[in-house]
Amino acid sequence: MTSTDSGVEAGRTVRVGDRDIFYTEAGSGPAVVLLHGGGPGASGLSNYSRNIEVLARRFRVIVPDLPGYGRSSKRVDQGDPFGDLAAAVGGLLDVLEVPRAHLIGNSYGGAAALRLAMDRPEQAERLILMGPGGIGTTRSLPTEGLRALLSYYTGTGPSREKLARFLREHLVYDAATITEDMIDARYRASLDPEVTANPPLRRPSGPAALRTLWRMDFTRDPRLRSVAHRTLVIWGEADRVNRPAGGRMLAERMPNCDLYLAARTGHWVQWERAELFNDLVGAFLDESR
């Protein structure tokens, strides 16, 4: 890989099982994997644009596009999506010959990180989860933000207006921080024909839908109480996609879980409160050295 001016590698694609996974990396030191959220048009670099350079001063930062997004293969197992994502991340670490890594995940990526810690605990060092998916999702009705996210590709189909509304009304606390250029870039990415034909994030359906929903709620999984990894949960108190009450659920169930609630912050803590987030991550991960 070649380096860009920011120090982030230009990226490469590797074969993981029967899928291609695109990733970039920067820095050196203990491995840290950044896992992005599942909104339309998301990708690793765009979701962590305000964090990679800072974290790369102290760590080897690996930033994949999860299956279904960016330049990675678009297929996701809808019968067990979080398990499938976790398997892809674990497989990527195997290919890169990284035996253990700190896992940092936002929303969809947070669910992938937590599931990997359950399925292959030996591959995870410390966990940092920002408004992760799959926390208490079967215990209450979906939020308005989650409904907007899941309906992006249904009904009248994807549109720039639907995406702008989701980003400004549900993703962040301050709508003014979402620029027209950001909306345009996410919208273009969301129109990939493979994605529109088979969206990676959608409501479970079919005869096995109830089983899938149950499997996607980690608070229903007895293994959650056995996840002994040191964990930092960071949740925006104004998160309109995943309820902040999920942070307390994790703190009560996981034996080594710290919880930080960020004021005046929505679902995208790592972007809205980048300086705070980078400081918290650095301090938390430095404890493990």
The structure tokens listed for 53 are 């350079």
Contact present, 49 and 41 (Cβ < 8 Å): no
The count of C-alpha atoms lying within 13 angstroms of the C-alpha of 166, restricted to the half-sphere facing its C-beta, is 26
- The string over 128-153, giving b where at least 16 C-beta atoms fall within 10 Å of a residue's C-beta and e elsewhere, is bbbbbbbbbbeeeeebebbebbeebb
Could you tell me which residues come within 8 angstroms of residue 3 by beta carbon, excluding any fewer than 6 positions away? 9, 10
Q: Biggest alpha carbon distance in the chain?
A: 51
Catalytic residue among 36, 102, 170, 267: 267
Is 170 tagged catalytic?
no
C-alpha 60/C-alpha 276 separation (Å) is 20
Q: Are strands 19-26 and 60-64 parallel, antiparallel or unpaired?
A: antiparallel
CA distances from 270 to 19, 93, 197, 216, 283 (A): 28, 23, 30, 23, 15
Q: Which residues are catalytic?
A: 267
